[in-house]
A and B are shown apart, each in its own frame.
Chain A
């Protein structure tokens, strides 16, 4: 019998303030990946998005671009990432998503890629330059066979009928891009746009990402969605230090409630 996807379990168990953290595999050091995963789980992150580095990350701002470049220079490859993650499920139980651009996945071959994801215990995939139409006709069947979720992005500018279409294809959750832009830019919250999307009563829960960088933006995102995704701000923290202490203090800087200000 097929086990329940960890992403589904997470959203069933936790109804608010879900915190998902993105980082680039092989950054800042080639061997950083496993230590960062362990430290993030210990510090209370609910879900992880591991970036597969790519030479031409067109949807990313300067911080994530730099981390991709460094990771490739360090020698990170998709093949090596799978090797590093081989035994990760012996001590990590939070959902893990792989996020990256299509070309490295395409070169590995989708069947091979998904089989490796299954063997390791990867729960979902986000590929920003794999559009819904191509996914549906060429990839969906393989994802279903392996019970790997493919998560789609929507923006406040996405038209209602398209949001419904993407909601029908996305599994686990929908990734709501805070403002239509590349990663790491300051978020501009338009309350009415979020309200409009929430009023649509979608099948998937929403997580808000792009530009979530501190406690205020995290809390604000959590008001409008089930939680938030933090990427560039975490990469910046890793640039300073990837020690477990520093990772822990970064996570707490987002999640510790302000009691008085």
Chain B
């Protein structure tokens, strides 16, 4: 089985570039410059330098004694939460801003859900002196306010999106429209492994540093080449793509993708795309989509703004269809409980996105010798309001 894109930009049956003709020149230009740049040693060197000295990579691989005891396996957390700006998103925005510079673009646009990609983009733009416009759904602006303020402080313009469900899907629509209207001077930094080819491939490549480091770190710590499990949450799926990347062809490694089931799979308020969706076309690629019988994309729900998306990246649709990855589903409440447990037991406040991956540990029966790596994709500072509300309501219970 092949987990790389074919010449037309498909992962198996999913992917491609379903774009209006207005964007054709941009996509062609992006493809040619990206493939050229990837093989340019000076680019690789500059990006590595930024990842080390600006982001603080490699991010630690932390052995969690308490999670290991609880789940009876060797559980490691890949600490992407310790990156500059607080999540894995910066890995991609730095790569793409170098790409934008080589494309000769001076204006950057981005969509954001939880605001982590927006903050990472605003940060990269501040570093490179580029104009930055971030589209964010009105609902997300309200629930991730600290990130909105960070973006503004960094010099970005945050544009509220009031169409549709006012979340990530709608912010992405608006960013694509902006790109159509400003195709000459603007590069669109997509934050996840979604969008038209070559975006899913570009973002997965820039995030692949996560699994590259996991390999090295496991070798150093345990003298093994690979883990038994890699577990990551999936909204669009960029941290999962990065954490899986170097293990895709190693079928001894079990890949676990965790989606947000919101209030529950059958509640009508869910973002569990693989459980509820079927193949369709959105945001430039063919993938699995939550939609009505008539092909209208339905509004997803998750407590986590970063997972509140009705599709998944085409790579993940392919991993789902081929069975290469196992997909698990975690509710809002399960994620909040797992997030609070990590906070109290380990002193790490995880992002609500990453808390979904943590909660999925309860659904897996491990062997005691299993080496498990869980991608802790981001920190939970942005989610304080949600955590505190939940904590106040439930402190008489288990915490």
Contact = CB atoms under 8 A, between A and B. Distances in A.
Interface of A: 54-61, 65, 69, 72, 77-79, 101-108, 128-134, 152-155, 157-159, 162, 166, 177, 180-182, 185
A56 B21 contact: no
B295 interface: yes
A236 to B, nearest CB: 18
B183 A157 contact: yes
B265 interface: no
B296 A55 contact: yes
Contacts of A79: 294
A153 B21 CA distance: 6
B180 A180 contact: yes
B391 interface: no
A129 B296 CA distance: 15
Nearest to B294: A77
Interface stretch (B74-82, B135-143, B277-285, B377-385): B277-285
Contact of A134 (B18, B176, B279, B283): B18
Contacts, number: 102
Contact of A157 (B16, B25, B177, B293): B25
Contacts of A72: 296
Given A108-B295, A185-B181, A65 B163 contact: yes
Contact of B283 (A58, A106, A152, A177): A58
A131 B176 contact: no
Which 3 pairs show the lowest CB-CB distances between chains A and B? A107-B295, A104-B295, A77-B294
Contacts of B176: 58
B22 interface: yes
Contact of A182 (B180, B282, B291, B295): B180
B89 interface: no
Contacts of A133: 8
B17 interface: yes
B24 A131 contact: yes
A81 to B, nearest CB: 10
28 contacts: A54-B296, A55-B296, A55-B297, A56-B164, A56-B169, A58-B20, A101-B281, A102-B18, A102-B281, A103-B281, A104-B294, A104-B296, A105-B295, A106-B279, A106-B281, A106-B295, A107-B280, A107-B293, A129-B281, A152-B21, A153-B20, A155-B22, A157-B22, A177-B21, A177-B22, A181-B22, A181-B181, A182-B180
A209 to B, nearest CB: 12
A116 B25 CA distance: 34
B163 A107 contact: no
Contacts of A131: 17-19, 21, 24
Contacts of B291: 103, 107
B149 to A, nearest CB: 27
A66 B164 CA distance: 10
Contacts of B17: 131
B68 interface: no
Nearest to A54: B296
Given A55-B164, A103-B281, A182-B180, A129 B295 contact: no
B5 interface: no
Interface string B157-194: 00000011000010001001100110100000000000
B205 to A, nearest CB: 23
A61 B164 CA distance: 14
A103 B282 contact: yes
A57 B180 CA distance: 12
Interface in B53-109: none
B21 A155 contact: yes
A101 B295 CA distance: 10
Interface in B254-287: 279-284
B24 A162 contact: yes
B173 to A, nearest CB: 5
B292 to A, nearest CB: 8
A56 B297 contact: yes
B21 A130 contact: no
Given A107-B293, A180-B22, 12 more contacts: A57-B173, A58-B180, A60-B177, A65-B163, A69-B163, A106-B281, A108-B295, A130-B18, A131-B21, A134-B16, A181-B22, A182-B180
Contacts of A166: 21
A155 B23 CA distance: 10
Nearest to B286: A106
Nearest to A134: B16
A177 to B, nearest CB: 6
Contacts of B181: 180-182, 185
A58 B21 contact: no
Given A56-B169, A155-B21, A103 B183 contact: no
B295 A128 contact: no
Contact of B173 (A56, A77, A134, A162): A56
Nearest to A162: B24
Given A107-B280, A181-B181, A182-B181, A128 B297 contact: no
A129 B17 CA distance: 9
Interface string B7-35: 01000000011111110110000000000
Nearest to B180: A182
A38 B363 CA distance: 60
Query: Which of A72, A132, A181 is most buried by chain B, counting CB atoms within 10 A of its CB?
Result: A181
Nearest to A104: B295
A61 B177 CA distance: 8
Contacts of B284: 129
Contacts of B281: 101-103, 106, 129
Contacts of B280: 103, 106-107
Contacts of A60: 177
